[in-house]
């Protein structure tokens, strides 16, 4: 990750950040591209090849290893274009209101790069300035994201291919074989087979100078998970260069609810145990490298700790950086309104601008069986509901990336597909359930949406590319934070907002990010407890006692924190303590039902 900025842009959906590096990397800003959809990636490569008059040869799905090869080709193209963009920035030194000026203006005011640039500019040392610019301006990192759960098996002529041709494995190979010098973000839980596959690539090991060609970032929900997974990789001789902590529920996309562990206490764990994590993992790492007779650095390599999910003001950004000693903060959802950063069609963008709190909700539409942040009224959901009304529930499964269910079939299929829902509804009909229970289960089955297609379609629509395979439905997955922004913006304005130079927040009543997450968790617990209570599931209810205890500990932590750093917190939200106490009372009323 580039150290130029103190924020990064996380992956958003499948298509929303598919080409974001081409828009921001030349300004030193790091971002993340999804590797789910190789069909989308191939279309984007063709689009940019035509745009910049570059030779293009399509990679057919008939050739061996086409998925990995498509991903490598697209990443190589982005790498080439970003390097060219950065050179243009560097050579714009003589232009008025140049790209170089934009690069410098967006840097944080405390940046040493910014200070040196001003010093050389004011001193009229043009030759020295030109040389310094060439040596000191760096591009943001073009990082990639692989959802480890999406690791569908693939077949050729009816025969199952070896596991290295599984979707996530092929995506990893596509990244490893690219010219990028960047990181892969592994998200959505553990995949031991994929982790072992990382060992196959020389690029993930340090060279004789201790440098990495490719790095691994783990997206984690808590310290324990980070320690366990860090050790798993270390025993293979693989180093985790960054632990990227994401709020369980106060984020966009899939929401992996923790067992009542809140973001503040999780960050505190990392703050207290950072060096212990580094040392414990390094010991295993060094032993593994020596066992493999590989070069082993004398000291533990760089290990970054970053966080994301629900951050919305410069005060929050600064507080998290300073108090928890973080290396970067992820800003996702607010960037969804920045038209020159993400790739989104005009209609969906307007829906985001108009969205209020009630329009943003935790849904069960994901075929992965994980809670998913959704926007009411998105065109993919409307399309899905129309199919249900027409008596043909389920989506045509055109891309099959979320095909992970084998309940009825030998080969995996998707729970959002028409094939699966037809079989599942036939099974339901044969149960002869009471009408109310039948409807509840029916609604749960048909709620699943084809997001592996819907989350990429918007990018194709934006560039007027062919959507015959995908159809017109668009899925969108903003976090709850979106409700507090209500106007279209751009990269420069968003960066100025992050660093406190302007304020884009249109809602002064927005809760502090910790309080907002606490409220989401309280609502989540309330819904789940009520669901279990109505079903008479006493065992499930008993399981929520641990969830409740962790929530109670989190509330106690926030009370102490907000008292300890009152001046700073008050700048973030004056009535935060009152809101915490109100949520604590609500939690107590839920606990009485357990």
Closest CA to 379 of 458, 447, 448: 458
Per DSSP (E only), the strands in 320-457 are 328-330, 360-363, 371-375
Q: Tokens for 334, please give them.
A: 């607010």
Average pLDDT, the chain: 94
Q: For residue 1, what pLDDT is reported?
A: 41
Statement: residue 592 has pLDDT above 80: no
Matching residue, tokens 């990181």: 183
Write out pLDDT tens, residues 85-121. 999 999 988 777 789 999 999 999 999 999 999 988 8
From first CA to last CA, the distance across the chain in angstroms is 45
**Phi, psi dihedral angles at 523 (to 5 degrees):** -65, -40
Facing residues of 245 across strands? Answer: 220, 307
Please, which residues have CB within 8 angstroms of residue 138's CB and are 6 or more apart in sequence?
Answer: 2, 4, 28, 86
Q: Which residues of 228-249 are buried (b: 16+ CB within 10 A; e: fewer)?
A: ebbbbbbebbbbbbbbbbbbbb
Q: For residue 8, what pLDDT is reported?
A: 98
Q: Tokens for 492, please give them.
A: 């420069």
Q: Which residues of 507-543 are buried (b: 16+ CB within 10 A; e: fewer)?
A: eeebbbbbbbbbbbbbbbbeebbeebeeeeeeeebee
What is the pTM (predicted TM-score) of this model? 0.95
Mean pLDDT for 340-346 is 97
Do the beta carbons of residue 324 and residue 268 sit within 8 Å? yes
Query: SS3 of 373, please?
Result: strand
Whole-angstrom distance, CA of residue 251 vs CA of residue 258? 13
Residues of the chain with CATH 1.20.58: 511-594
Statement: residue 407 has pLDDT above 60: yes
Do the beta carbons of residue 149 and residue 143 sit within 8 Å? no
Do the beta carbons of residue 506 and residue 486 sit within 8 Å? yes
Do the beta carbons of residue 462 and residue 344 sit within 8 Å? yes
Strand 7-8, strand 328-330: pairing: parallel
Do the beta carbons of residue 137 and residue 86 sit within 8 Å? yes
**Phi, psi dihedral angles at 142 (to 5 degrees):** -95, 85
For 164, other C-beta atoms within 10 Å of its C-beta total 15
Statement: residue 43 has pLDDT above 90: yes
Strand 155-156, strand 240-246: pairing: unpaired
Whole-angstrom distance, CA of residue 272 vs CA of residue 68? 40
Statement: residue 509 has pLDDT above 60: yes
- Its sign, for the CA torsion 551, 556, 557, 562, is positive
Statement: residue 575 has pLDDT above 90: no
Do the beta carbons of residue 503 and residue 277 sit within 8 Å? no
Res. 538 pLDDT band, cuts 50 70 90:
confident
Do the beta carbons of residue 20 and residue 31 sit within 8 Å? yes
Q: Tokens for 328, please give them.
A: 């970067």
Res. 573 pLDDT band, cuts 50 70 90:
low
Q: CA 111 from chain center: how many Å?
A: 26
Whole-angstrom distance, CA of residue 14 vs CA of residue 118? 39
DSSP class per residue in 462-528: HTT---TTT-S-------GGGGG--S-B-HHHHHHHHTTSS-----TTPPPHHHHHHHHHHHHHHHH
126 vs 80 pLDDT, higher one? 80
Whole-angstrom distance, CA of residue 26 vs CA of residue 85? 6
Whole-angstrom distance, CA of residue 451 vs CA of residue 431? 29
215 vs 562 pLDDT, higher one? 215
Statement: residue 574 has pLDDT above 70: no
Whole-angstrom distance, CA of residue 357 vs CA of residue 73? 41
Do the beta carbons of residue 105 and residue 113 sit within 8 Å? no
Res. 542 pLDDT band, cuts 50 70 90:
confident
Do the beta carbons of residue 166 and residue 151 sit within 8 Å? yes
Do the beta carbons of residue 254 and residue 370 sit within 8 Å? yes
CATH architecture of structural domain 7-336? Alpha-Beta Barrel (3.20)
Matching residue, tokens 């996702």: 332
Whole-angstrom distance, CA of residue 480 vs CA of residue 395? 27
Q: Tokens for 375, please give them.
A: 């926007």
Residues of the chain with CATH 3.20.20: 7-336
Mean pLDDT for 249-268 is 95
Statement: residue 171 has pLDDT above 50: yes
Q: What percent of the chain has pLDDT over 90?
A: 87
Mean pLDDT for 336-361 is 96
Write out pLDDT tens, residues 427-484. 999 999 999 999 999 999 999 999 999 999 999 999 999 999 999 999 999 999 999 9
Strand 371-375, strand 254-255: pairing: antiparallel
Strand 371-375, strand 7-8: pairing: unpaired
Q: Tokens for 447, please give them.
A: 């709620």
For 20, other C-beta atoms within 10 Å of its C-beta total 27
Write out pLDDT tens, residues 285-334. 999 999 999 999 999 999 999 999 999 999 999 999 999 999 999 999 99
The vertex-41 CA angle with 348 and 409, nearest 5°, equals: 90
Per DSSP (E only), the strands in 21-123 are 31-34
Write out pLDDT tens, residues 366-376. 999 999 999 99
Write out pLDDT tens, residues 550-562. 999 999 999 999 8
Whole-angstrom distance, CA of residue 331 vs CA of residue 404? 30
Fold of 511-594: Methane Monooxygenase Hydroxylase; Chain G, domain 1 (1.20.58)
Whole-angstrom distance, CA of residue 465 vs CA of residue 42? 12
Whole-angstrom distance, CA of residue 239 vs CA of residue 230? 8
By residue count, the chain amounts to: 594
Whole-angstrom distance, CA of residue 462 vs CA of residue 455? 13
Q: Tokens for 284, please give them.
A: 């295993």
> Alpha helices, DSSP H only, in 355-417?
379-389
């Amino acid at each position: 990750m580039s150290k130029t900025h103190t924020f990064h842009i996380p992956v958003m959906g499948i298509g929303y950040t598919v080409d974001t590096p081409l828009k921001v990397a030349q300004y030193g800003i790091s971002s993340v591209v999804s590797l789910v959809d190789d069909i989308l990636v191939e279309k984007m490569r063709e689009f940019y090849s035509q745009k910049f008059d570059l030779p293009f040869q399509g990679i057919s799905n008939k050739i061996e290893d086409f998925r990995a090869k498509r991903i490598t080709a697209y990443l190589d193209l982005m790498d080439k274009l970003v390097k060219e963009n950065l050179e243009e920035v560097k050579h714009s030194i003589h232009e008025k209101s140049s790209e170089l000026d934009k690069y410098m203006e967006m840097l944080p005011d405390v940046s040493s790069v910014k200070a040196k640039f001003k010093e050389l500019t004011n001193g009229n040392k043009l030759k020295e300035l030109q040389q310094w610019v060439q040596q000191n301006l760096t591009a943001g990192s073009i990082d990639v994201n692989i959802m480890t759960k999406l690791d569908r098996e693939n077949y050729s002529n009816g025969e199952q291919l070896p596991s290295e041709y599984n979707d996530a494995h092929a995506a990893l190979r596509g990244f490893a074989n690219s010219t990028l010098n960047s990181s892969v973000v592994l998200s959505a839980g553990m995949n031991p087979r994929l982790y072992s596959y990382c060992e196959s690539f020389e690029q993930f090991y340090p060279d004789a100078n201790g440098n990495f060609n490719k790095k691994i970032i783990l997206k984690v929900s808590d310290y324990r998970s980070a320690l366990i997974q860090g050790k798993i990789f270390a025993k293979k001789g693989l180093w985790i260069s960054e632990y990227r902590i994401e709020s369980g529920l106060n984020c966009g996309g899939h929401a992996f609810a923790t067992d009542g562990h809140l973001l503040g206490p999780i960050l505190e764990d990392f703050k207290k145990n950072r060096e212990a994590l580094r040392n414990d993992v390094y010991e295993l790492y060094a032993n593994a490298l020596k066992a493999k007779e590989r070069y082993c650095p004398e000291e533990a390599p760089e290990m970054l700790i970053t966080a994301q999910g629900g951050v919305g003001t410069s005060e929050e950004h600064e507080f998290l950086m300073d108090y928890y000693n973080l290396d970067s903060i992820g800003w996702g959802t607010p960037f969804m309104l920045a038209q020159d950063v993400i790739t989104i069609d005009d209609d969906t963008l307007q829906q985001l601008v108009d969205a209020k709190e009630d329009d943003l909700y935790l849904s069960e539409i994901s075929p992965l069986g994980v809670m998913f942040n959704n926007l009411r009224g998105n065109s993919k959901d409307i399309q899905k509901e129309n199919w249900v009304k027409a008596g043909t529930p389920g989506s045509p499964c055109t891309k099959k990336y979320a095909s992970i269910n084998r309940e009825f079939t030998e080969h995996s299929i998707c729970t959002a597909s028409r094939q699966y829902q037809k079989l599942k509804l036939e099974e339901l009909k044969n149960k002869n359930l009471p009408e109310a229970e039948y409807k509840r289960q029916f609604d749960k089955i048909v709620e699943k949406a084809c997001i592996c297609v819907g989350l990429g379609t918007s990018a194709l629509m934006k560039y007027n590319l062919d959507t015959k395979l995908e159809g017109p439905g668009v899925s969108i997955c903003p976090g709850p934070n979106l409700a507090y922004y209500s106007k279209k913006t751009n990269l420069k304005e968003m960066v100025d907002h992050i660093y406190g130079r302007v304020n884009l927040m249109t809602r002064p009543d927005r809760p502090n990010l910790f309080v907002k997450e606490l409220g989401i968790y309280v609502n989540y617990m309330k819904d789940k407890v009520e669901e279990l209570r109505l079903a008479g599931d006493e065992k499930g209810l008993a399981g929520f006692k641990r969830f409740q205890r962790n929530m109670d500990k989190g509330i106690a932590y926030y009370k102490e924190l907000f008292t300890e750093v009152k001046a700073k917190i008050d700048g973030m939200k004056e009535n935060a303590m009152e809101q915490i106490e109100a949520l604590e009372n609500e939690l107590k009323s839920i606990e009485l039902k357990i």
